[in-house]
Amino acid sequence: MNPWERTKLWSELLSQVRSFFLKRGFTEVVTPVLAPWHNLDPNIKPIKVENGLYLQASPEFFMKKLLIFGAKRIFQIAHAFRDDPVDDLHTKEFLILEWYRVGEDIRAIKRDVEDLVSEVLGRYPPPWDSISLRELFKERLDINLEEAKDKETLLRKIKKAGLKVKDSYSWEELFEAAFLNEIDPYLPKDRAFWLVDYPYPLAASSKCDGFWSTRCEAYVEGVELANGYVELDDPEEQKRRWISRGRESEIDWEYLELLESKGLPPSSGIALGLERLLMLKCRKSSIHEILPFSPLTKRG
């Protein structure tokens, strides 16, 4: 396909996505790409430009400000930027589809994903089943994550399981190394499912029930497609998590002030990678095969 043929595929997909949400009573929104703070999720590497500004990795906190001011169902198709290595599933600039529902739990969001993916791909009708990270770590590595809440215990158990990791790794890095080496390669590649039971240290801005968060990820044919959760509405807990992960100058203090003064209504949200969705629709193995232009990589 040449760039124009790929562009037409994108036009069809974006029209289909917009129609899907508008029919369900959502309002499309637009938020800034530049801001003097960034998402402090430990899995996100921000891109800093100049004068203390960051290209946004997600419209998450601008959109949650809209929820605080009265929005009920909103979605956005946004350019997002992350300093990840470029490979078949990653590039530094991409299109993210993000949406939120107020007064509805994560089950409604998960059904949105299942319906959207089924409609776009023409396969994998709902409901999808769930696979537990808690159980996978126990089955494949004989690690009970609740008994390995501190770094030293998790490090010892991972080494006992035969994995090579650095002693300097954080808890999150140890988990990621174990996941990438012993969990991810063995996830189903022939269906769609939800990966659930993410531990608290990986909660991002998710509500938690003890050690376990409400975070869930949608996988389709082995590809991580979407990441969502019930939104954290506790300003002190959100502040504590952010301060533990970054400098105070990188924090969105306006959001914390709004969270404290007005409060975030009970809500759930999710972000989905549109390049990966179109890649799956076209049955390609790399997002660069469906991008009209891919200046950060060379095509073979």
Assess if residue 176 is contained within a domain.
no
Assess if residue 77 is contained within a domain.
yes
102-149 pLDDT tens trace: 999 999 999 999 999 999 999 999 999 999 999 999 999 999 999 999
Number of structural domains (the chain) is: 1
Assess if residue 298 is contained within a domain.
no
Assess if residue 171 is contained within a domain.
no
For the segment 196-218, the average pLDDT, to the nearest whole number, is 94
Q: Is 236 exposed, middle or buried (0-12, 13-18, 19+ CB in 10 A)?
A: exposed
DSSP conformation letters of 181-250: IIIGGGS-SSSEEEEE--BGGG-TTB-EETTEES-EEEEETTEEEEEEEEBP--HHHHHHHHHHHS-GGG
CATH number for the domain that contains residue 227? 3.30.930.10
Assess if residue 295 is contained within a domain.
no
Rounded Cα gap, residues 91 and 85, in angstroms: 7
Range of the domain at 274: 3-128+191-289
pLDDT beyond 80 at 246? no
At 227 the pLDDT is 97
Q: Residue for token digits 């089924």?
A: 118
At 258 the pLDDT is 98
Would you place residue 298 in the very low, low, confident or very high pLDDT band (cuts 50, 70, 90)? low
Assess if residue 38 is contained within a domain.
yes
Assess if residue 137 is contained within a domain.
no
At 40 the pLDDT is 82
pTM value? 0.95
List b or e across 157-191, with b for residues whose CB sees 16 or more CB atoms inside 10 angstroms. bbeeeeeebeeebebbebbbbbbebbbeeebeeee
Q: With contact defined as beta carbons under 8 Å apart, do 251 and 41 qualify?
A: no
Assess if residue 224 is contained within a domain.
yes
